[in-house]
Amino acid sequence: GAVVSQHPSRVICKSGTSVKIECRSLDFQATTMFWYRQFPKKSLMLMATSNEGSKATYEQGVEKDKFLINHASLTLSTLTVTSAHPEDSSFYICSARFRDRGAVHYGYTFGSGTRLTVV
């Protein structure tokens, strides 16, 4: 099945520093990936849609200069939280769209998430 590997699983960083989160599709090519943010005991909130070879599409209210997304290859998308602050502490999750051979519709698979703590 389609597997997405997300790293790191946990990261602690100091305020003002930047953190990069990677999301790789292991056995398929992901032309489209999605980045979500999740607060404790809350649902997933879509931050942006990442398309290979083009600029990401950000949801309303998400700062694109704060959350840099790069999707330079068909198997890798990265989210960089720049100049991190404590309020950026959250659980970040990537998702990729895939389509099995012969299938009409797409399926969606998720990474295991990254717990970011900014101190």
Partner 1 sequence: GESVGLHLPTLSVQEGDNSIINCAYSNSASDYFIWYKQESGKGPQFIIDIRSNMDKRQGQRVTVLLNKTVKHLSLQIAATQPGDSAVYFCAELHNTNAGKSTFGDGTTLTVKP
Give the nearer residue to partner 1 in terms of CB position, either 45 or 82. 45
| Phi-psi label, residue 105: left if phi above 0, alpha if psi -120 to 50, beta otherwise | beta
Nearest to 92 by CA among 49, 44, 59, 27: 44
Give the nearer residue to partner 1 in terms of CB position, either 14 or 43. 43
CA distance 106 to 56: 20
On whether the CB atoms of residues 88 and 116 are closer than 8 A, the answer is yes
Segment near partner 1 (CB under 8 A); pick from 11-19, 71-79, 81-89, 93-101: 93-101
Least separation in angstroms between residue 111's CB and partner 1 is: 5
Under the binding rule (CB under 8 A), the answer on residue 64 touching partner 1 is no
Give the nearer residue to partner 1 in terms of CB position, either 25 or 111. 111
* Residue selected from 6, 75, 77, 90 as contacting partner 1 according to rule CB under 8 A: 6
